[in-house]
Amino acid sequence: MTASGQLSTTEGSAWWRSAAIYQVYIRSFADGNGDGVGDLTGVRSKLDYLAGLGVDAIWFTPWYPSPMDDGGYDVADFRDIEPLFGTLGEAEQLLTEAHELGIRVIIDIVPNHCSDEHRWFRAALAAAPGSAERQRFWFRPGRGPDGSEPPNNWKSRFGGPAWTRVTEADGSPGEWYLHLYSSRQPDFNWDSPDIRAEFEDVLRFWFDRGVDGFRVDVADGLVKDPVLPDVDDGDETPFSDQEGLHEIYRSWRKIADSYPGEKILVGEMWLPDMSRAARYLRRDELHSAFNFDFLTCPWDPGRFRDVISRTLRAHEEVGAPAAWVLSNHDVTRHVTRYGRSGDTGFAFADRLHGTPVDRVLGTRRARAAALLTLSLPGGLYVYQGEELGLWEVEDIPSGLRQDPVWARTQGADPGRDGCRVPIPWSGQASPFGFGEGEPWLPQPAEWVAYTAEAEAGDPDSMLSLYRRGLALRSSLGEPALSWLDAGPDVLAFSRAPGFVFLLNFSAAPVQLPAHSEVLLASGPLPDGLLPTDTAVWLRS
């Protein structure tokens, strides 16, 4: 530990290659001031819980000032803290306290877009077409004789068109601006030198305050084809994975490498080709990226083996570690996904809202998936509440939903509120220790049995499974994974000397191989058998 509270370079050498990182969605983690919204005071009160869980770092979703049209991903100021959450001084205190517990802190950076309340977008609206202010965004004249049609046919990922027309200062219909998400999230134009300089300065601002890294939102989408061509359905190539991105991340990596303590950059990239995604993880670009192929993998042994093999192979080619994740703030919680019949691999594009869920089945599979994820080489992300076995809350009243996806699709897509319901900490009724006020989203009454307090004293709870798994995981080290043949319906591999993993996907129990010790199991092992949808760690 350094005098400033930052973890030293020696302590932090390549820490990120195998780190267990816990995602905190601040609004829903813990409420310290009783207003029903999570905040930094609440997070600070739970740092000991996170240290006891055994994670190496925390990743915060955006904590910047924001009108919260998109849960904070509509940023109005990249150098301050949202007043709902606290102050910049409190964020700095949190960094110090986390570091004292050996926990690093990663924060979101949102370089693709900002809020329509950002000072630069306000200036752009006030400026004339062709002005320097508008060059920071994608303002274009409309098509058609009167410019009443959008510049192209791109669709917003939140539903509806990706263009909104503005009214000029004289009151006339004017240009259109691009927003791949909400109309209140105008896309930056990364051809502008102002944008590039601004974000390099933002990186330094937070690194100077002790932040240990950034999760880069929409990391594949910053650069657009300047021609802005029309696209066919499903085609995202003009605004995803453009070659110009690599130059941006090389400049960011130089900044990160100029600081002590292994500062890192983690990419969020939904790319269909894993080898393309791995190109961003070369040694002079990003450090790692989320593995969404694994997150969306259906409950099938062959599919899991394939995605794990492809992931490890693609990452080995560029010398980068894989990063495994089961859930996050954008996708349906995996207890619910795994409890649905049919294809359990959906996550974002199709939430299958309203279809039946077998929660017992989903929980059993979620426990097995936790052991699988914990046993794989590389980094690991845990989304808040998954260690408690929480499920997607699907019965939120329409009037309480806040995700813009819900509104922009006229309710056809329920959006992401169901995975963002505030965490239950203790007690017998809502707000379950989240805070003193009514939570901003309603909590299910059934969560009384899923509070951190209730699960802490239960050796068979999901929380106990995660704690034991995270503690044992550190002993696996760096050894590569070697597949074992245990039959077509059993996923099996070995890693560290003497370590064997098995997950039974078959419809019947299977015999455990010869072993000296059961290190950890996701469920009971009656008569030395591994039941269906159960995973086990063995010492051979």
Q: Beta strand pairing status for 534-539 and 482-483?
A: unpaired
Q: Which of 216, 193, 191, 192 is nearest to 203 (CA)?
A: 216
Q: Which residues are catalytic?
A: 217, 268
Distances in Å between the Cα of 117 and the Cα atoms of 62, 77, 184 are: 16, 9, 8
Q: Which two tokens stand for residue 214?
A: 């950034």
**67 phi-psi bin (left φ>0, alpha ψ -120 to 50, beta other):** alpha
CA dist 96 and 100 (Å) reads 6
Structure token digits, residue 63: 């904590």
DSSP 125-154: HHSPTT-HHHHTBTEEPPBSTTS-B-SS--
Residues 392, 403: contact at Cβ < 8 Å?
Answer: no
Residue 380: phi and psi, rounded to 5, are -140, 135
DSSP assignment of 163-195: EEEEEPTTSSEEEEEE-SS-TTSPBB-TTSHHH
Structure-token pair, residue 463: 């929380």
The SS3 assignment for 117 reads coil
Tokens linked to 44:
């600070």
Angle at Cα 494 formed by Cα 464 and Cα 538, nearest 5°? 45
Q: How far apart are CA 367 and CA 369, in angstroms?
A: 5
Cα 314 to Cα 510: distance, rounded to the nearest angstrom: 32
